Amino acid sequence: MQKKRKNRDRDGLYRRKDSPYWWASYTNAGGRRTRRSTGTADRREAEAILAKWRVEAHRGRHWDEQPERTFDELMLAYIQETEPGGQWFRPAAKRLYRTFSGRTLNNLRPQDIRAYVRERKQEGRAASTINKEIGLLSAAINYARREWGWEIDNPATGCRQREPEGRVRWITRKDAAALIEAASADTRAKHLPDFIRLAVNTGCRKGELLGMEWKRIDLQAGIIHLEAEHTKTGRRRAVPMNKEARAAIISRARFRAQHCPASPWLFCRKDGSRIADVKRSFATACKRADIEDFRIHDLRHTCAAWLVTAGVPLAEVRDLLGHRSIQMTERYAHLSPENVRAAVARLDDDSHDLVTLEKQEEEKTA
């Protein structure tokens, strides 16, 4: 195994099982070993690209010469190497291309990023959308600086926009039961009650549930496995099943056994094809149950709200929902007033101690 790695580094080009392209191994201008995709499956073309990179590294190392780096070169290489997960990535990259394609990164300044932000605001885009876009550019530049030794500034630093507090709409268990009952009345969407039960009991996103395959469900262990490519954040996680979630999955298993035993999808039609969306049937069920201003994603909020009000620590809620950071989970902190109540009660204890000390001092001076 070690011999193979030595040959790889000496040769400069190698293959990876997870990529159709040739990958290159060389020493960058900073003296660090760099391994990156050439973006081509043609061996000769890959050799030419590697030769170009080696010349650039030599000039940077010995002559302090920095080649011009373009936005297109950056994004193409970054996507090929990292393949970030999540539905947000594609539209963010597409919108960045509209403005920055053909631009030289060496000459890109913070004022250019701020101008982009102003333009997006004028188009009516939310701060969260803008942050995803400039965040993607910033992540790509930082990756290039760290992994490839590119000596370029990051003009996106400090351009993040302040985001308003996120929406938190959830329903009670009584309302959830009414919603499931209303969904059961729709004979054309017999999958909807199980979808709702799973969503409020696992906290999974709509895309994670509708894209769920049977091979990722372990009924014996009571675990649903989500790999990086299945999640919005691009991080794998394991979701445990409670009794309600397990019952919903078994209900889907019965449907599959009766109509389409070979279907790989948890939520499928009688012909085994995947169910793409539940938006229309869900809206109808909400109307029947007399539940207003309630979206499919609010089922996830409902799961989080139930957990927090039951006293589950925010860190555990974060891990279950797959949030990137605890800050995203803290939007539910106000649903656990008992924690704050216990903290405020400490003031009563401190006040009692202070009064006792004051009385003791008065007795000494009397």
- Residues 333-340, mean pLDDT to the nearest whole number: 66
User: What integer best gives the mean pLDDT of the chain?
Assistant: 83
Q: Which residues, 6 or more positions from 115, have their beta carbon under 8 angstroms from its beta carbon? A: none
86 Rama sector, left if φ>0, alpha if ψ -120 to 50, beta otherwise: left
pLDDT of residue 102: 80
- Amino acid at site 38: T
Residues in a beta bridge with 104: 70
pLDDT of residue 86: 47
Q: Indicate if the pLDDT at residue 335 is higher than 80.
A: no
What number of other Cβ atoms are within 10 A of residue 106's Cβ? Answer: 14
The pLDDT tens digits of the residues spanning 5-50 come to: 444 444 588 888 877 788 888 777 666 777 777 778 888 888 887 8
- Amino acid at site 122: Q
- Residues 310-315, mean pLDDT to the nearest whole number: 85
CB 301 within 8 A of CB 203: no
- Residues 232-252, mean pLDDT to the nearest whole number: 89
pLDDT of residue 8: 45
| Residue 168 banded pLDDT, cuts 50, 70, 90 | confident
The CA–CA distances, whole Å, from 22 to 78, 143, 151, 336 equal: 15, 20, 25, 53
Tell me the two tokens of residue 349: 């204890």
- What would you report as the CA-atom Rg of the chain, rounded to the nearest whole angstrom? 27
pLDDT of residue 298: 94
- Residues 296-303, mean pLDDT to the nearest whole number: 93
pLDDT of residue 9: 44
**Neighbour-count burial of 8, counting CB atoms closer than 10 A to its CB (0-12 exposed, 13-18 middle, 19+ buried):** middle
CA end-to-end distance (rounded Å), the chain: 87
The pLDDT tens digits of the residues spanning 38-88 come to: 778 888 888 887 887 787 776 666 665 567 788 888 888 888 777 654 455
pLDDT of residue 274: 94
| Residue 1 banded pLDDT, cuts 50, 70, 90 | very low
144 or 67, which is more confident = 144
pLDDT of residue 172: 94
69: phi then psi, degrees, rounded to nearest 5 = -115, 135
Q: Indicate if the pLDDT at residue 366 is higher than 60.
A: no
| Highest-confidence segment of 149-153, 205-209, 234-238 | 205-209
- Residues 302-321, mean pLDDT to the nearest whole number: 87
CB 237 within 8 A of CB 309: no
pLDDT of residue 4: 46
**Neighbour-count burial of 54, counting CB atoms closer than 10 A to its CB (0-12 exposed, 13-18 middle, 19+ buried):** middle
Report the percent of the chain where pLDDT is more than 90.
Answer: 43
The CA–CA distances, whole Å, from 108 to 69, 76, 95, 105, 155 equal: 10, 18, 17, 5, 7
Q: Indicate if the pLDDT at residue 355 is higher than 60.
A: no
pLDDT of residue 3: 46
Selection from 254, 278, 274 nearest residue 263 by Cα: 274
Residues in a beta bridge with 35: 25
Q: Indicate if the pLDDT at residue 92 is higher than 80.
A: yes
Report the interhelical angle of 243-259 vs 192-202 (nearest 10°): 150
Selection from 255, 279, 281, 257 nearest residue 267 by Cα: 255
pLDDT of residue 315: 86
Residues in a beta bridge with 210: none
Region of poorest pLDDT, from 196-205, 307-316, 332-341:
332-341
- Residues 226-240, mean pLDDT to the nearest whole number: 80
Q: Indicate if the pLDDT at residue 232 is higher than 50.
A: yes
Q: Please give, one letter per residue, the 3-state secondary structure of the chain.
A: CHHHHHHHHHHCEEECCCCCCEEEEEECCCCCEEEEECCCCCHHHHHHHHHHHHHHHHHHHHCCCCCCCEHHHHHHHHHHHHCCCCCCHHHHHHHHHHHHCCCEHHHCCHHHHHHHHHHHHHCCCCHHHHHHHHHHHHHHHHHHHHHCCCCCCCCCCCCCCCCCCCCCCCCCHHHHHHHHHHHHCCCCCCCHHHHHHHHHHHCCCHHHHHCCEHHHEECCCCEEEECHHHCCCCCCEEEECCHHHHHHHHHHHHHHHHHCCCCCECCECCCCCECCCCHHHHHHHHHHCCCCCCCCCHHHHHHHHHHHHCCCCHHHHHHHHCCCCHHHHHHHHHHCHHHHHHHHHHHHHHHHHHHHHHHHHHHHHC
228 or 196, which is more confident = 196
Question: For residues 92, 96, 98 and 104, what is the CA-based torsion angle, rounded to 10 degrees?
Answer: -160
